Amino acid sequence: MNNLLIKHPRDANFLDLPNKLPMLVKPNEYSPIDNNNSSKAKLGGYLLNDQKYELPLIIQNSNLRNQSKIQPVNSVYSLINNSSQVPFKINTKLCDFLLTENHRFNFIINPVIKHPLELKHPLKLTSKDKEEITKFNSEKLSEGHIMRIAIIYRNVNKFFIPTRIDNRGRLYALTNYLHYQGSELAKSLLLFSESDKIYKTDDKAIMYFKSYGVNLYGNGLDKLNYPDKLN
């Protein structure tokens, strides 16, 4: 695999990037088609969706006999459209730190390093050895893609991550590797492009902010102080 810890975006090869990348413009909106057919919708997300290919709002589950459908009047459309239009940017300080100092701290796997077990003769590798090598190479590949995308997008003021839902209503980012549902490396390289303020009088915003905090520490909402108990 090529050395992915490159020092300048011009060294990154676009041909090595995954297919589904963050968008430089706002994703198209999903919306119901007004023909009394609740299963039909104008497809959004990537600009070519509904033009060159079809990615319905709901991710299809081949194990289900009947796929989920969305009624024409449904807040799911707002959920998808609003979440897809949140602008992000690259955490350039962290990106540059990893590019210049990772050799000292080994936060991510050096792409030119092979797992020590790969030096063994293939016939002497146990199933556990092979599993460990596969896991190591998979993590190395994933980190490499994340870093490459971050380098390509590091000077972009804002980009967007289109989303879809599954049949249970769970939200999923469409981009490969670099998104807020990915690894710790992926999440740490993302920043909101546009800042905002939380006011002491906005109980709802404070509640969501605290919900985010307790989740970061692996706790449930039972640890959350609700607005009526705010200091």
CA-to-CA dists, residue 192 to 7, 52, 55, 79, 160, angstroms = 24, 31, 26, 18, 10
Residue identified by tokens 């609700």 is 226
DSSP readout, 76-96? HHHHHHHHHT-EEEE-HHHHH
Pairwise CA distance, residues 56 & 123, whole Å: 46
Give the mean model confidence (pLDDT) for residues 103-122.
89
Portion of the chain with pLDDT greater than 90, in percent: 56
- With contact defined as beta carbons under 8 Å apart, do 196 and 102 qualify? no
Query: To which H or E segment does residue 159 belong?
Result: strand 159-160
Average pLDDT, the chain: 86
Question: How far is C-alpha 178 from the geometric centre of its chain's CA atoms?
Answer: 5
Q: Are strands 159-160 and 87-90 parallel, antiparallel or unpaired?
A: antiparallel
Give the mean model confidence (pLDDT) for residues 159-180.
94
Predicted pLDDT of residue 46 = 96
pLDDT in tens, 208-231: 888 888 887 878 777 666 545 444
Predicted pLDDT of residue 36 = 61
195 pLDDT band (50/70/90 cuts)?
confident
160 pLDDT band (50/70/90 cuts)?
very high
The DSSP letter of residue 5 is -
37 pLDDT band (50/70/90 cuts)?
low
pLDDT in tens, 6-34: 444 445 555 567 889 999 999 999 998 87
Residue identified by tokens 């297919």 is 19
79 pLDDT band (50/70/90 cuts)?
very high
Pairwise CA distance, residues 33 & 43, whole Å: 10
Task: Determine phi and psi for 100, rounding to 5 degrees.
Answer: -100, -25
Pairwise CA distance, residues 3 & 8, whole Å: 12
pTM for this structure?
0.82
DSSP SS3 for 217? coil
Give the mean model confidence (pLDDT) for residues 175-185.
95
Pairwise CA distance, residues 187 & 189, whole Å: 5
